[in-house]
Amino acid sequence: MLTSFKIKLTPLLFIILSVSCTVAHAQFPECKKPLLLSSDANWPPFIYIDKNNKGVGTDLVLLKNILALMQCKVKLAPIPERRVSLERTMGRFDIGLGATKTKERLLNLYFSSQYRVEVNKFAYRTQDMDIAAITNLNKIIELKKAIAINLGGWFGREIENAKNTTSLFVYTGTVERRIKMLQRNRVDIVIDDKTVLCHVLKASTSANISIHPLVLSKAPQHFVFNKETISPEFVEQFNSILDSMILSGELSAHYADNLPPECLKGL
């Protein structure tokens, strides 16, 4: 269960941040209203809607705490997973999370400092010995295995190329649904962030699903900001606070406190 993330500050750092955030609030028109976060909000444990219909998750809590130091608020606008990329293209958002830096995205987005690393792996039925023995993505393609994946996600150039050249990829709304498809033999593997897979499988009743050790892709993760609505000065202030959390150890403590140990490796 997600616990509150409390930022521990030395007296000197507290004074510095308090002064800079007061200035930021006076300078940045972005802070006059809640900033719009467009997300599918169904990517546990990083961001999801809990049983009380409240947005929670490690990345969302981190974002809210940084913005609170800037005297800003964020409004979560849940959208279907398949529309995330479109919403970013159309510019109908202010902030995004869990983004991999690409040349295409740099055209329209500012990127924060790196705050974690995404390691993409895949889940499979443990008894499928063909898949258990594979050593690369090409072998999965050669075996003509059905692959469930998030249409709007970025999983590295090799997977993007495979998506465009094969018909093996299957798209459905959430990672939980993809895991159910795997359990019901409708697909053969599910590709996603290994922490997401770990979190979902930990809550699953199925004991015959494993996460393969093969790393399909690995990339730094960033918060992103719409260049049309967010200023470079705002991003600079945001990064200053995020960087201080990294240096103080608060960032790593945040994830250590809120993720099961077996799901934490690789962040």
Take residue 118 and report the two structure tokens written for it.
């995404």
Take residue 89 and report the two structure tokens written for it.
């293209």
Alpha carbon distance 265, 197 (integer Å): 13
Helix and strand tally (H, E) in the chain? 12, 13
pTM: 0.84
Q: According to the model, what pLDDT value does residue 83 have?
A: 58
Beta strands at 109-111 and 217-226: parallel, antiparallel or unpaired: antiparallel
Enumerate residues 6+ apart whose C-beta is below 8 A from 46. 57, 58, 59, 60, 97, 98, 193, 195, 196
Alpha carbon distance 59, 115 (integer Å): 9
If pLDDT is split at 50, 70 and 90, which confidence band does 204 have? confident
Q: How many CB atoms lie within 10 A of CB 105?
A: 19
Q: According to the model, what pLDDT value does residue 13 have?
A: 47
Alpha carbon distance 230, 112 (integer Å): 12
Digit-coded pLDDT (tens) for 12-26: 344 345 544 444 444
* Residue 151 pLDDT exceeds 70: yes
Nearest alpha-carbon partner for 79 in 50, 48, 41: 41
Is residue 251 within 8 Å of 115, Cβ to Cβ?
yes
Alpha carbon distance 250, 204 (integer Å): 30
Cα–Cα separations (whole angstroms), residue 52 to 1, 17, 49, 58, 260: 13, 33, 8, 17, 22
**Region 119-217: CATH code:** 3.40.190.10
Digit-coded pLDDT (tens) for 70-123: 999 999 987 665 555 555 556 578 999 999 998 888 998 999 999 999 999 999
Q: Do domains 11-116+219-264 and 119-217 have the same CATH topology?
A: yes
Q: Which CATH superfamily is domain 11-116+219-264 in?
A: Periplasmic binding protein-like II (3.40.190.10)
If pLDDT is split at 50, 70 and 90, which confidence band does 7 have? very low
Is residue 81 within 8 Å of 40, Cβ to Cβ?
yes
Q: According to the model, what pLDDT value does residue 180 have?
A: 93
Alpha carbon distance 241, 235 (integer Å): 10
* Residue 5 pLDDT exceeds 90: no
Alpha carbon distance 16, 10 (integer Å): 10
* Residue 9 pLDDT exceeds 50: no
What percent of the chain is modeled with pLDDT above 70? 85
Region 232-254: mean pLDDT is 96
Residue with tokens 């960087």: 243
* Mean pLDDT of the residues in the chain: 85
If pLDDT is split at 50, 70 and 90, which confidence band does 38 have? confident
Query: Which region among 114-118, 124-128, 260-264 has the lowest average model confidence (pLDDT)?
Result: 260-264
Query: Which region among 51-60, 123-132, 198-207 has the lowest average model confidence (pLDDT)?
Result: 198-207
* Residue 62 pLDDT exceeds 70: yes
Ranges of each domain in the chain: 11-116+219-264, 119-217
Region 43-55: mean pLDDT is 90
Take residue 98 and report the two structure tokens written for it.
């869990």
Region 207-218: mean pLDDT is 93
Region 56-70: mean pLDDT is 96
If pLDDT is split at 50, 70 and 90, which confidence band does 252 have? very high
Beta strands at 169-171 and 147-149: parallel, antiparallel or unpaired: parallel
Q: According to the model, what pLDDT value does residue 152 have?
A: 74
Alpha carbon distance 6, 242 (integer Å): 14
Take residue 142 and report the two structure tokens written for it.
């050669």
Nearest alpha-carbon partner for 166 in 182, 186, 146: 146
